[in-house]
Amino acid sequence: MVQIGYTMMTEQAGPRELVEHVVRAEEAGFDFSVTSDHYFPWLREQGHAPYAWAVLGAAAQATTRIPLMTYVTCPTFRYHPAVVAQKAATLQLLSQGRFRLGLGSGESLNEHVTGEGWPTVDVRHERFEEAVEIITALLEGGHLTYHGEHFQVDSAKLWDLPERPPQIGIAVSGEQSCALAGHYADLVIATEPKKELLDLFDQHGGEGKPRVGQLPVSFDPDRETAVRRAHEQFRWFGLGWKVNAELPHPDSFSSATQFVRPDDVAASIPCGDDPEAFVEAVRPYAEAGFTEVALVQIGGESQHTFLEWSERILLPELRNAFG
C-alpha cells in the first residue's frame, strides 16, 4: 500500500495560491501533503519563493484532515536549529497533530544568502547532526544548553509544546545521511526510487519506519504543452542531488541545463493526461519499498486542473494499482 501525497511547491506559486491548492488537494482526497522550503526558485521561470512556514501556518488553519510536512527544511544556515524546533512545535499545535518535520542538509541555492559560505559535504553533515540533536532535545521538553563544534544553545526551552512532538524525517542521498537518518529519524525522505538507500536506512536502525518519496509530473490534456512546461520549469531535476546541492543561483541552474532537451525531460517525467503513464512512474517507488509518494504537478497555474483530474481519474487509478 502506497499513500499518495500532494506537493505545495513554493518555487512555482505565491503564498495565497499555495494555501488554496492544498485546500483543494484535501478535497480531492490526497492522503498527505508536503511543502518545499526555498529562498530561491530553481529557475527564474518558476518565479516564486515565499516563506514556507507562514504558508504552513495558514494551511494548518485552512485545512482539517490532510497531514502537512516540510520537504525539506535545512536547519543549519538560514535557520538556527533552536528556532526550527520552536516553529515545528507551533505548527504541530496549529495543525492539531498533523505536522511532520522533514529535514535535510540543504542546498547552496537557499543557504548562501546568510553570507557564511557553503562548506564541504562532510562539514554540512556535521552541522546537520548537531542541528538534529538540538531540535530533538527541545521537542522533548525542558531546558537545553548545548555546546557543539558548530552550534551553541544557551538555556533554551519551548514554552508551547504539543502533547505529541512532530515526527522527524531526514532526507538521504548516500550512506552518511542514511546512517544519520537511521539513528535519529522517525521516517526517511528520498527524491529518487533507490532501494539501496532504503536498505542502508534499515541497516542503521530505520527498519519498519515510513519512507517518503517525491515524483514530478506534468499533467495537461495537450501533451506537447505538458512537455514544454516540464522542460521550462523542471529541466534541472535530472542533474542529480550532488550537483543540485552545490549550485548557488537560478542562473547557475539555467546554465547547467542549457543543453537539456524537452525529450530528455519527457523521458523521466510523465507528461500529458494518460493515467497509466503516471501509474508506471510511481511503480518504481512502490517496488523499492516507499510507503508514501508525493506528486509535484509542474506549473503553478496548472494546479486546479491537475487536482480536478486527480480527483476524478488519477487517484482512483493509483489506488487501484497500489492499494
> Which tens digits make up the pLDDT trace of 250-261?
999 999 999 999
Convert the pLDDT of each residue in 276-287 to its tens digit: 999 999 999 999
Give pLDDT, residue 184.
96
Q: How far apart are CA 280 and CA 221, in angstroms?
A: 18
The chain-wide mean pLDDT, for the chain, equals: 97
150 is catalytic: no
Across the range 62-71, mean pLDDT stands at: 98
107 is catalytic: yes
Residue 94 has pLDDT above 90, yes or no: yes
Residue 242 has pLDDT above 90, yes or no: no
Across the range 267-273, mean pLDDT stands at: 97
% pLDDT > 90, the chain = 98
CA of 93: how far to CAs of 57, 60, 144, 161, 180, in Å? 10, 9, 21, 7, 27
Strands 167-171, 271-272: pairing kind: unpaired
Longest dimension (CA), the chain: 58
What is the number of alpha carbons within 13 Å of residue 239 lying toward its C-beta?
20
What is the number of alpha carbons within 13 Å of residue 101 lying toward its C-beta?
28
pTM for the model: 0.97
Give pLDDT, residue 195.
97
Across the range 19-48, mean pLDDT stands at: 98
Residue 241 has pLDDT above 90, yes or no: no
Give pLDDT, residue 240.
86
What is the number of alpha carbons within 13 Å of residue 153 lying toward its C-beta?
23
Band of residue 168 on the pLDDT scale cut at 50, 70, 90: very high
Across the range 180-207, mean pLDDT stands at: 97
Give pLDDT, residue 58.
98
Give pLDDT, residue 323.
86
- Options 38, 112, 125, 204, the catalytic residue: 38
- Options 11, 107, 111, 129, the catalytic residue: 107
